[in-house]
């Protein structure tokens, strides 16, 4: 955790006093933020936490003067080194942005110009604020990118955003945000879509750079573990108001307000390595998963990972699975998955974890028969998946269903919720029209959504409600196996907790088996019976969840666990 000595004893760099923000809509004014008071000292890191819609990003955008056109600060004061920002002209704010207040936005892909090179975009910031001339701007761009931790900065400056990984794009945004050495940097969910190891690297780099420059950091996040680990102080927002604020560890160890207490209980990054809720089942010590011998060459095999043949009642058996993709213009193909073996015991949850590019989603897509393997065998209920055709393939499709990562793009925006859930029943001609409508109502009940929601559209639902709809659709055909591909990574911690508990309840009620794909080990700790760890397309370790989290054998697994935000904090919840 950053040292508290960085906090200045002089007057605050930023003072936010009784600020209220309204958004003007056709239905009248919406009070997004009310009565917000925040102090931020020079060199201090302050985290603002809360759910989507809590007002945390709106507060930050009010400070930097980047509210949407229908948004306005209707009362209060925002002082930066004593200078009033509320009511300041756009010309004044343009001079402040970048030079005095930097911004690292949430989504690097949508906040970088896809048709401009990275170096060109950094150069624009330097030239706009007079921190470089056309003569020396190329040199300063390279220095700025190198300072942000981008390897081979001269080469990277000539590349486009689509040629960067997610972590590299986020570093480019950090470079742009700090290019002008601002006094205050606002980082809005800077690592929410990144793997834990990349997340740690980015946050370490951000902390180092702000520390060297003496820059104050306002960190917007819904991750309490990250807030406790990286900030001196935490501000908790709920429905546009601050409900609690104070020293980070004090807030996490002894939350006073019910909402903060609920956040702490729901945050897997804080509680997962200590608590295993009774809502989730513990693994049967006589069941098993398996890791390929090649992946653990030179290392002892996990005690709980015997061969697939010895496992009782496995719904899925995967042996030697390999997927190779040819690359146009290159002789060497890309090996996405290499010799992977594991099993899924019936009625249990097997999680596949690893960084982006580890091959976990490719493995899931092969199991769903979306793509065909290059070699190896996949058996579902004893049948070779690769050989399924006709009626057998149709039966397989109904027994194995997916839940996708993004609840915003996985639902047809033109269909009502009822039609979305009913679509699989219509396609496979399950029952009469009345039977299907009754089934839709039952499914809405199962996922704790009101039946009246059947007539609404996805745009009228929150992210958590949409993911519940996606779960209802996956359950429509009464499947036996559900493949969950990052099903909660786009959700806030409270909604995430609700969805995970719902999956646990449904598993117990219907005897479902889950293959759970995730890069979030804290979430995996809550829901999985078994864990398979993948790296560079290979399975490096597989064992019970308890064993993976208490006695990891592979150095890569230990590195993943060490990267969980808040993992080392001693927080009593």
What tens digit of pLDDT does each residue of 399-438 get?
999 998 777 778 999 999 999 999 999 999 998 999 999 9
Give the bridge partners for 403, in sequence order: 484
CA-CA distance, 76 to 561, in Å (whole number)? Answer: 44
Q: Nearest to residue 550, comparing CAs of 560, 540, 561, 539?
A: 561
Q: Is residue 39 exposed (0-12), middle (13-18) or buried (19+ Cβ within 10 Å)?
A: middle
Residue in the structure block whose two tokens are 């980082």:
187
Instruction: For residue 194, count other CB atoms closer than 10 A to its CB.
Output: 22
Structural domains in the chain, sorted by start: 1-95+216-266 (3.40.50.300), 274-381+481-573 (3.40.50.300), 406-479 (no CATH)
Half-sphere exposure for 131 (CA within 13 Å, toward CB): 22
* Segments in the chain below pLDDT 50: 1-9, 270-287, 292-311, 572-573
Say if CB 312 and CB 345 are below 8 A apart.
Answer: yes
Query: Which two structure tokens, joined as six digits, stand for 240?
Result: 């546009």
Say if CB 242 and CB 36 are below 8 A apart.
Answer: yes
How far, in Å, are 36, 63, 115 from residue 59 at the CA level? 8, 6, 31
CA-CA distance, 412 to 130, in Å (whole number)? Answer: 48
Report the pLDDT value the prediction gives residue 181, as an integer from 0 to 100: 83
CA 515 to chain centre: 18
Give the bridge partners for 247, in sequence order: 233
Report the pLDDT value the prediction gives residue 297, as an integer from 0 to 100: 43
Say if CB 148 and CB 209 are below 8 A apart.
Answer: yes
The alpha helices in 455-554, defined as continuous H runs, are 463-475, 493-510, 521-527, 545-550
Helix (H, G, I), strand (E, B) or coil at 30: strand
CA-CA distance, 156 to 146, in Å (whole number)? Answer: 10
pLDDT tens-place string over residues 480-508: 999 998 888 767 778 888 888 888 889 98
Report the pLDDT value the prediction gives residue 171, as an integer from 0 to 100: 81
Residue in the structure block whose two tokens are 């759970």:
516
Q: What is the DSSP track for 297-336?
A: TTSPPPTT---GGGSSSEEEEEEEEEEEE--TT-SSPEEE
What pTM does this model have?
Answer: 0.75
Report the pLDDT value the prediction gives residue 568, as an integer from 0 to 100: 58
């Amino acid at each position: 955790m950053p040292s508290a000595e960085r906090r200045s004893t002089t007057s605050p760099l930023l003072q936010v006093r009784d600020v209220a923000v309204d958004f003007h809509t056709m239905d009248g004014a919406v009070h997004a933020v009310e009565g917000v008071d925040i102090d931020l000292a020079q060199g201090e890191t302050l985290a603002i936490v809360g759910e989507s819609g809590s007002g945390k990003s709106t507060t930050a955008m009010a400070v930097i003067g980047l509210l949407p056109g229908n948004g306005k600060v209707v009362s209060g004061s925002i002082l930066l080194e004593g200078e009033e920002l509320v009511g300041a002209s756009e010309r004044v704010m343009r001079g402040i942005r970048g030079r005095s207040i930097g911004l690292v936005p949430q989504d690097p892909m949508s906040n970088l110009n896809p048709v401009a090179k990275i170096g060109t975009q950094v150069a624009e910031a330097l030239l706009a604020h007079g921190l470089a001339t056309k003569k020396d701007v190329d040199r300063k761009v390279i220095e700025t990118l190198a300072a942000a931790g981008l390897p081979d900065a001269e080469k990277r400056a000539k590349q486009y955003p689509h040629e960067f990984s997610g972590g590299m794009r986020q570093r480019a945004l950090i470079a742009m945000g700090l290019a002008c050495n601002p006094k205050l940097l606002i980082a809005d969910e800077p690592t929410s879509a990144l793997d834990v190891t990349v997340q740690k690297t980015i946050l370490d780099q951000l902390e180092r750079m702000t520390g060297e420059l003496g820059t104050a950091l306002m960190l917007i996040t819904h991750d309490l573990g990250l807030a406790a680990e990286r900030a001196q102080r935490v501000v908790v927002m709920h429905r546009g108001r601050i409900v609690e604020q104070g020293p980070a560890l004090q807030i996490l160890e002894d939350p006073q307000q019910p909402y903060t207490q609920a956040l702490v209980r729901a945050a897997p990054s804080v509680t997962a390595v200590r608590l295993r809720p009774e809502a989730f089942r513990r693994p049967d010590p006589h069941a098993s998963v398996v890791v390929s011998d090649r992946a653990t060459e030179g290392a002892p095999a996990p005690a709980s990972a015997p061969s697939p043949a010895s496992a009782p009642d496995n719904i899925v058996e995967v042996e030697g699975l390999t997927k190779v993709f040819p690359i146009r213009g290159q002789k060497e193909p890309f090996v996405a998955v290499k010799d992977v073996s594991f099993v899924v015991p019936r009625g249990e949850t097997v999680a596949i974890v690893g960084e982006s590019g580890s091959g976990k989603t490719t493995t899931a897509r092969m199991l769903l028969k979306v793509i065909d393997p290059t070699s190896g065998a996949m058996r579902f209920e004893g049948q070779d998946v690769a050989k399924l055709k006709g009626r057998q393939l149709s039966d397989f499709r109904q027994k194995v269903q997916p839940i996708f990562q993004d609840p915003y793009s996985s639902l047809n925006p033109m269909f009502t919720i009822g039609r979305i859930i009913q679509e699989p029943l219509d396609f496979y001609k399950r029952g009469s029209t009345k039977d299907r409508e009754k089934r839709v109502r039952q499914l809405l009940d199962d996922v704790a959504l009101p039946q009246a929601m059947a007539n609404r559209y996805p745009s009228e639902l929150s992210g958590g409600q949409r993911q519940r709809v996606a779960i209802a659709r996956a359950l429509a055909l009464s499947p036996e196996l559900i493949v969950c591909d990052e099903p909660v990574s786009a959700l806030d911690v409270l909604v995430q907790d609700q969805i995970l508990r719902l999956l646990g309840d449904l598993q117990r009620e219907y005897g479902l088996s889950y293959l759970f794909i995730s890069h979030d080990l804290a979430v995996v700790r809550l829901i999985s019976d078994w864990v398979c760890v993948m790296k560079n397309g290979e399975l490096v370790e597989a064992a019970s969840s308890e064993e993976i989290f208490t006695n990891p054998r592979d150095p890569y697994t230990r590195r993943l666990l060490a990267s969980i935000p808040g993992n080392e904090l001693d927080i009593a919840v």
